């Protein structure tokens, strides 16, 4: 069996998560969090589209972690990104973290918006 060490370049992988927090690149962030090519920042939830739109030149898809369970994104939130031509995919936050890490390790242009579990 051949094992390869994953390299993330300058991007920060999700190291872990728990009730109300995410550990990203070795640091703990509490509450809703956006992981963008420019860095990690707090995110205002579905009302805060601008934080994510500011990264649209650097990403092809944004994964939205909806918390512990899968939930539909509000229609007005989704329409902002549809109008901007950027893909948005909703999934539970744990799955969003794993998917983000896999695509990030492949060098893909991804961002992550997370609601806490």
Domains of the chain: residue spans and CATH:
14-114 (3.40.1230.10)
Q: pLDDT tens, 32-59?
A: 999 999 999 999 999 999 999 999 999 9
Whole-number pLDDT of residue 71: 95
Residue 69 has pLDDT above 60, yes or no: yes
Mean pLDDT of the chain: 92
> Model-level pTM greater than 0.85?
yes
Whole-number pLDDT of residue 45: 97
Whole-number pLDDT of residue 3: 47
- What span, in angstroms and rounded, lies between the C-alpha atoms of 30 and 92? 17
Q: Which of 58, 74, 42 is nearest to 108 (CA)?
A: 58
């Amino acid at each position: 069996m051949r094992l390869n060490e994953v390299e993330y370049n300058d991007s920060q992988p999700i190291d872990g998560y728990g009730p109300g927090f995410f550990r990203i690149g070795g640091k703990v962030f509490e509450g809703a969090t956006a992981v963008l090519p420019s860095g990690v920042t707090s995110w205002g939830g579905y009302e805060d589209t601008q934080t994510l739109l500011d990264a649209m030149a650097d990403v092809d898809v944004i994964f939205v972690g909806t918390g512990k369970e899968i939930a539909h994104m509000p229609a007005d939130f989704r329409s902002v990104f549809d109008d901007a031509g950027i893909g948005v995919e909703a999934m539970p936050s744990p799955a969003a973290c794993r998917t983000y890490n896999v695509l990030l390790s492949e060098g893909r242009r991804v961002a992550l918006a997370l609601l806490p579990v």
